[in-house]
Amino acid sequence: MSTTETPQTDSTRPAAPTVPGTALVVGASGITGTALVEQLTREGWDVLALSRRASSSDGVTGIAADLTSAESLRTALADAKPTHVFFAAWQKRDTEAENIAVNGAMVRDLLAALDHAPVRHVSLVTGLKHYLGPFEAYGTGDMPDTPFHEDEERLPYPNFYYAQEDELFAAAERQGFTWSVHRSHTVIGFAVGNAMNMGLTIAVQAALSKRLGRPFTFPGSETQWNSLVDVTDAGVLAEQMIWAATDPAGADEPFNIVNGDVFRWRWLWPRLAGHLGIDPALVEGFEGEPRPLEQQMAGLEQEWRDLVAEHDLAEPDLSRVASWWHTDGDLGRDIEVVTDMGKARDAGFTRYRRTEQAFVDLFERYRAARLIP
């Protein structure tokens, strides 16, 4: 008995996979940018990855540009035609006035360089300094009560987050795209050489403490040790940014973004120590006063190089794997920091990530990349 195949016509032939769009990730080598590139690639986007040093891979076209140079951006993006922009870059300066000038200009010049492109949506990452104040007035004055909500009024201080938002709003009005702002807490994720990398910093602290037989000491304040707190996994942040860029419910809105759970460092610190191979007898919590990492870990550059050689690790420069100053600032705060996720949940973004597991998975990834032993 023979069978006859029915010829495929245009109406019966399976449709070709639809590419969601062309995404431009600005700050592609950072923690958030790395997570964005990975998630967008998984979802089948064409990805343009902009950073100071271009790096291309399957499905990703690298673009090298200096974000502080309007001319560099114009040249680099002359032929780029992104439909969606994900802005995840900033630069720290000595004063907030300088932060405002530099970071506001980066958003303005990047979007102006895309005035020829069919941009439909721009997602911008900022953070909780929107509620807590800039570096120069951090945690002072009349801050809103926790948990933080998106409808809080701006604080009466100059703040580069506000400048970035204003540049975004102005460009959206001129160029006709929708926007979203994503206010993350401390972002934990995979990157090397990032100025604000708590996950890798804690892992490096543990590795050095273990090598030297020192206690694995919580560096922060009594308030941070005992209070409820939350953090943001970079993958969750990336997913929210993509959701807002593609779902009408995310258009023209600011959203808080954290993992969805809360914890106390007095609970999490010994658990992280266990995941990092620290003897429980060498785990120390808050004891009377903060013990900053910049002091605890001072002068250990050669110890790190020796550890790298002993374990055949990939990065001998301690300054590229540990951001002591940032983790000190984060864990040294004398204020409670808890973030409300109700607005995003009501709009349809329901992603959740257990924070302890986020750290565990991150440590495993850093081990696989030979960045920690």
Catalytic residue among 131, 161, 162, 366: 161
* pLDDT of 193 above 50: yes
Can you give the pLDDT at residue 194? Answer: 83
Please give the Cα distance from 189 to 365 (Å, whole number): 9
DSSP SS3 for 92: coil
Is 129 part of the annotated catalytic residue set? yes
If you average pLDDT over residues 167-177, what whole number do you get?
A: 99
Predicted confidence at residue 4, as pLDDT, reads 43
Average pLDDT of the residues in 342-347 = 99
Averaged confidence pLDDT in the chain: 94
DSSP secondary structure letter of residue 290: -
How confident is residue 10, by pLDDT bands cut at 50, 70 and 90?
Answer: very low
Number of H helices, E strands in the chain: 14, 13
Q: What is the pTM of this model?
A: 0.93
**CATH numbers and ranges of domains, the chain:** 22-184 (3.40.50.720), 198-228+263-337+354-368 (no CATH)
Between 136 and 205, name the one with better pLDDT. 205
Residue 7 has pLDDT above 80, yes or no: no
Going by their DSSP bridges, the two strands 187-188 and 232-233 should be labelled as: parallel
Report the 3 state secondary structure along 353-373.
CCHHHHHHHHHHHHHHCCCCC
Position 196 confidence tier, pLDDT thresholds 50, 70, 90: confident
User: What are the DSSP E strand ranges found in 19-176?
Assistant: 22-26, 46-51, 60-64, 84-87, 121-125
- pLDDT of 12 higher than 90: no
Question: Which two structure tokens, joined as six digits, stand for 209?
Answer: 């403490």
92 belongs to the catalytic site = no
**Residue 1 pLDDT greater than 70, yes or no:** no
* Across 182-194, average pLDDT: 95
**Confidence label for 18 from pLDDT (cuts 50, 70 and 90):** low
Average pLDDT over residues 111-131: 98
Question: Regarding predicted confidence, which is higher, 18 or 35?
Answer: 35
| Helix, strand or coil, per DSSP, at residue 122 | strand
- The pLDDT of 249-263, averaged and rounded, is 99
User: How large a percentage of the chain has pLDDT more than 70?
Assistant: 95
Distances (CA, A) of 263 to 173, 218, 233, 269: 40, 15, 14, 10
Q: Single out the catalytic residue among 81, 92, 129, 131.
A: 129
Residue 101 confidence (pLDDT): 98
Average pLDDT (208-212) is 97
Q: Which position has the higher pLDDT, 299 or 11? A: 299
Answer yes or no: are the C-beta atoms of 120 and 61 closer than 8 Å. no
Rounded CA Rg of the chain? 22
Is residue 144 predicted with pLDDT exceeding 70? yes
Model confidence at 369, pLDDT cuts 50, 70, 90, reads: very high
